[in-house]
């Protein structure tokens, strides 16, 4: 517990508010989030020039997601009012992990525990940002994927999974 208390305080983000001048409607706004695979490393040369991926690209895509979400919510041509709640679905493979196939560690740019820390920090910032945009309830539903598991398939408990560690690391209200 002393080690946790010794960690630096999280960065306090300046809240951003959207003044939409619309009453919430019944229903929700949904944002599925799948296969972020934080920590995965794909070298553009090894993909035959098809693409690249790494932790920095994950961060860039998250920023792009935020800007698109804000524009979509704020867009005055939207024909319906923003709802009273926002759902974010984390659909597994949140982190890349390091043990589900031979050579996987060679294809990561940060180790598994750092992947979880990055996920909690950056995806937590996303949830906090969404919650602060508008007076709505933000619901997060999560499932574990296979990339965060420890060991071979079926070898260990499904809860021995770095995605599960990400899920239980979130504050409970």
- The 10s digit of each residue's pLDDT in 146-168 is 999 998 889 999 899 999 999 98
Where does the pLDDT of residue 173 fall: very low under 50, low under 70, confident under 90, or very high at 90 and above? Answer: low
The total number of structural domains that make up the chain: 1
16 assigned to some structural domain: no
157, part of any domain: yes
pLDDT tens digit string along 9-50? 766 666 666 555 555 454 556 778 889 999 999 999 988 999
Domain that holds residue 135: 27-168
Q: Is residue 49 part of a domain?
A: yes
Query: Is 40 within the bounds of a domain?
Result: yes
**pTM exceeds 0.75, yes or no:** yes
How far is Cα of residue 63 from the mean position of the Cα atoms in its chain?
Answer: 11
118 belongs to a structural domain: yes
The number of CA neighbours under 13 Å toward the Cβ of 128 is 14
Calculate the alpha carbon distances from 135 to 24, 41, 61 in Å. 9, 38, 25
The mean pLDDT value of the chain amounts to: 83
Distance CA 148, CA 70 (A): 30
**6 in a domain, yes or no?**
no
pLDDT at 17: 61
> What are residue 149's DSSP bridge partners?
161
**Tokens standing for residue 152:** 């071979």
pLDDT of residue 26: 47
User: Does residue 4 belong to any structural domain of this protein?
Assistant: no
Give pLDDT, residue 8. 73
Residue 10 inside a domain? The answer is no
> CA of 112: how far to CAs of 9, 98, 106, 162, in Å?
22, 6, 12, 7
């Amino acid at each position: 517990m002393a080690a946790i208390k010794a960690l630096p305080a999280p960065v306090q983000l300046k809240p951003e508010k959207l003044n939409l001048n619309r009453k919430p409607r019944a229903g929700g706004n949904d944002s599925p989030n799948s296969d972020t695979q934080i920590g995965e490393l794909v070298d553009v040369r090894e993909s035959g020039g098809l693409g690249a991926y790494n932790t920095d690209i994950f961060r860039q895509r998250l920023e792009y997601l935020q800007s698109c979400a804000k524009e979509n919510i704020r867009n005055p041509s939207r024909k319906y009012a923003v709802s009273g709640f926002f759902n974010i679905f984390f659909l597994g493979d949140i982190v890349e992990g390091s043990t589900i196939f031979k050579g996987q560690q060679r294809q990561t740019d940060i180790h598994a525990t750092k992947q979880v820390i990055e996920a909690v920090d950056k995806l937590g910032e996303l949830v906090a940002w969404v919650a602060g945009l508008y007076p709505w309830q933000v619901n997060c539903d999560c499932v574990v994927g296979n990339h965060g598991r420890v060991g071979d398939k079926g070898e260990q408990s499904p809860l021995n999974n770095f995605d599960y560690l990400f899920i239980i690391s979130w504050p409970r209200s």
